[in-house]
Structure 1
């Protein structure tokens, strides 16, 4: 009579002892299981929740104002398209705060066009965006005399004060200019640089409100 060897529950299965190829397959299956499980855990890492005020600080109004050659609330993509269609070259700078539950979105972007023509005058154009919404346009003319005439023709309500500065406010639109000051003896002695700035006051106030409410928080840095 053949006596069967007693086995313990701690002993490996008979197929494990006798068949090496099956051992390799089993180890591969176990390894794949742990690999996919680990990757699945990494995939579902939660992003920071959106601050409740983000919608307020990213809303786009239907009623817009004219900011020189553009309109307020235009996004970066639409401005880039317009500049491309007009064959302009430009540069960009970006300052974006990291996403956080502590404060709403805060993206500041600038487009600079070194050689731009406005009202048939050559100059430099700067466009400022707050959370992907155009809120300010600045034009710096090369020929201040010619541009002063052109801008006063286009905006007759933009009248200079005694010093030579001019400010026009019409609803949400604010236009400021110093072209008349630059042309004066005082402006030339000060070596002032000419400019005309168009602003949407709604977005200016919103930008300033963000700074008041969240500007002192410990923001790690731009990305």
Structure 2
């Protein structure tokens, strides 16, 4: 498989795929778990539009952002973070996958990549304890040789470390390992790691136009990967 870029043609030997906003629309899960957590703590609820801007940098960032959005200062939010995290974890695990849906074209795209003999890894900023059950619930786990979460390594995307570690696990050099994501976190991390990167146009990008994120190509569905030359 080749991905044509303005400066280089990279022969793709493996693929890394993001989860939230790329393969699965999980906004409903975030909505239920986060707002139940805020209710437990006596804090104001947040809207789905708020959540869409907050997601992508891990659950800890999501919780902290929601607490600040509700009127707490940074220090107050930090002090409440441990209790909020414990409550959020319990709520999320209880409903994981129940209010989410696989995006159209995902199964077809992943199936085609596998048929071409490309090893796949899922790399998300979602905690691994959330990521694996979600993939299983959506019958996507069988596509992936490796699944890494935001807590699998010392740092999370947009740091390049998770991509570099995932390339090591796949046994491929970054230049031959395609990153597929939905946000600037994926684009920035891929650029820094030296991976070619394709971004979907339908995911979560902190309220910013996805065209502004680093990318080699934008696609409206993972099915479009089948047309790469």
TM-score, normalised via structure 1 length: 0.25
Greater relative CO, 1 or 2 (CA 8 Å, sep 6+) = 2
Structure with the bigger percentage of strand: 1
Structure with the bigger percentage of helix: 2
TM-score, normalised via structure 2 length: 0.25
